[in-house]
Amino acid sequence: MKQSFSKRSTMTEIAAKAGVSIPTVSRVLHQRPDVAPETRKRVEQLLEEHGLLQRHAKKLSRKEHSGIVDMLFPGFDSMYSFEIARGVEEVLARTDRRLAISSTHHSLELEQHWMSKIQHSPSDGAILVLAHGEPRRFDPLHRHNIPFVVVDHAGELGLDTPSVGATNWLGGRTATEYLISLGHRRIAVITGPTTLPCSQDRVAGYRVALEAAGLPVRPDYICQGNFSPDSGYTQTNALLDLPEPPTAIFAGCDEQANGVYRALRDRGLRIPDDMSVIGFDDVPTASIVTPDLTTIRQPLREMGRVATTMLLHLINGEPLDSIRVELTTNLIVRNSCKPLDDEK
């Protein structure tokens, strides 16, 4: 049973044992049709026993695919990444490919290091999360004919780059409309990084909703943040220090909303009584904070699944139904928003 270290057998050896010529062995190994059934059976048996069959299969599969799909994140610092990865894994688990995950740790240098790793132990394809769209950064992938799909791109994306996102504009509008429907008139937004289309789009939706309701778009109510809780904390404090603070805050994402919560709590303000808060994403934490967070659900797992399905099509050389897919967002009402009291 343990013959793993015996020297590897050759076709010559098999031929001798089977009492046939070397070309015949070669034919059986390559599944050519013109071999007598019994000869084939005998030779196949020997090939199997001596591990030649396995060796050959391995060599073949290495030629057509490495068996690895890569996934690159800017960082592993949020549930956001985790949720997308879960979706990818779900699809991949049903295939014979494995999922390799990497993070650039927000460093361009590490991104390049990853690109060079790819060349040494190649990839069937890659899913790039929040990748910067500058075309030349994808050059190594093009050069090695590695197909890829971008999820939630950063910056501009070439027209020929397959990508998946969510309806961020609609989500931003829906969140704002909901707050307006509750009677709020002074609604602030804390943005994500302004380089990201997803956060730009959310703010654009916010503006449209305000304008449609005939409400002013106040620059002091649009605060630049990023997706971190800390930025939520800082900007909420800034908003509260305004001569006329808002009555509702639309956070850039759920994680940032945690910082908003903390800032409000530190000032002794209650949610939703003193301030309505709405998030974006609907990651698992949204439903365990107190009060549980009303938010715009972004289907991260589904985005991971769709991106993977697209990638598998590309890998198989099949055409894509659409080069750009946006999945729908929707409002999840919980307990962090409240109708504005009339007397207020």
Query: Does 30 contact its own copies by CB under 8 A?
Result: no
Answer yes or no: are the C-beta atoms of 148 and 127 closer than 8 Å: yes
| Torsions phi, psi for 165 (to 5 deg) | -150, -165
Question: In the window 155-214, what residues touch its own copies (CB under 8 A)?
Answer: none
Cis peptide upstream of residue 147 (ω within 30 degrees of 0): no
Q: Which does 130 bind (CB under 5 to 8 A by kind): its own copies, DNA, none?
A: none
Query: Hey, what are 311's tokens?
Result: 């990638």
**Least Å distance between CB 261 and its own copies?**
8
Q: Which does 195 bind (CB under 5 to 8 A by kind): DNA, its own copies, none?
A: none
Question: In the window 315-334, what residues touch DNA (CB under 7 A)?
Answer: none
Taking the C-alpha atoms of residue 156 and residue 6, their distance in angstroms, rounded to an integer, is 56
Q: Which does 145 bind (CB under 5 to 8 A by kind): its own copies, DNA, none?
A: its own copies
Answer yes or no: are the C-beta atoms of 115 and 85 closer than 8 Å: no
Stated as kind and residue range, the H or E segment containing 43 is: helix 37-49
Taking the C-alpha atoms of residue 263 and residue 267, their distance in angstroms, rounded to an integer, is 6
Query: Does 107 contact DNA by CB under 7 A?
Result: no
Helix (H, G, I), strand (E, B) or coil at 170: helix
Nearest residue to 186 (alpha-carbon basis) of 248, 228, 257, 239: 248
Taking the C-alpha atoms of residue 125 and residue 159, their distance in angstroms, rounded to an integer, is 19
| Torsions phi, psi for 241 (to 5 deg) | -85, -5
Q: Which residues contact 218 (CB under 8 A, 6 or more apart)?
A: none
Judged by beta carbon, residue 30 or residue 143, the one nearer its own copies is: 143
β-pairing verdict for 324-327 and 163-166: parallel
Query: Does 98 contact its own copies by CB under 8 A?
Result: yes
Query: Does 294 contact its own copies by CB under 8 A?
Result: no
Judged by beta carbon, residue 23 or residue 158, the one nearer DNA is: 23
Q: Which one of 94-102, 128-136, 154-162, 198-206 is the stretch in contact with its own copies (CB under 8 A)?
A: 94-102
**Least Å distance between CB 30 and DNA?**
6
- Under DSSP, the state recorded for 299 is -
**Least Å distance between CB 51 and DNA?**
11
Q: Which of 24, 231, 235, 258 binds its own copies (CB under 8 A)?
A: 258
Q: Which of 2, 3, 16, 24 binds DNA (CB under 7 A)?
A: 24
Instruction: Check residue 152 and give left, alpha or beta (phi > 0: left; psi -120 to 50: alpha).
Output: left
State the number of CA atoms in the 13 A half-sphere of 59 facing the CB. Answer: 8
Query: Does 96 contact its own copies by CB under 8 A?
Result: yes
Query: Does 155 contact DNA by CB under 7 A?
Result: no
**Least Å distance between CB 145 and its own copies?**
7
Question: In the window 29-58, what residues touch DNA (CB under 7 A)?
Answer: 29-30, 33-37, 39-40, 52
Query: Does 86 contact its own copies by CB under 8 A?
Result: yes
- Kindly state the number of chain residues that form the binding site for DNA, as judged by CB under 7 A: 21
Q: Which of 21, 23, 30, 57 binds its own copies (CB under 8 A)?
A: 57
Neighbours of 158 (CB within 10 A): 12
Q: Which does 290 bind (CB under 5 to 8 A by kind): DNA, its own copies, none?
A: its own copies
Nearest residue to 180 (alpha-carbon basis) of 250, 252, 227, 231: 250
Q: Which one of 7-15, 179-187, 220-228, 314-322 is the stretch in contact with DNA (CB under 7 A)?
A: 7-15
Q: Which does 208 bind (CB under 5 to 8 A by kind): its own copies, DNA, none?
A: none
Helix (H, G, I), strand (E, B) or coil at 51: coil
Judged by beta carbon, residue 47 or residue 277, the one nearer DNA is: 47
Judged by beta carbon, residue 14 or residue 293, the one nearer DNA is: 14
Query: Hey, what are 96's tokens?
Result: 């014979």
Return residues touching DNA (CB under 7 A): 10-12, 19-24, 26-27, 29-30, 33-37, 39-40, 52
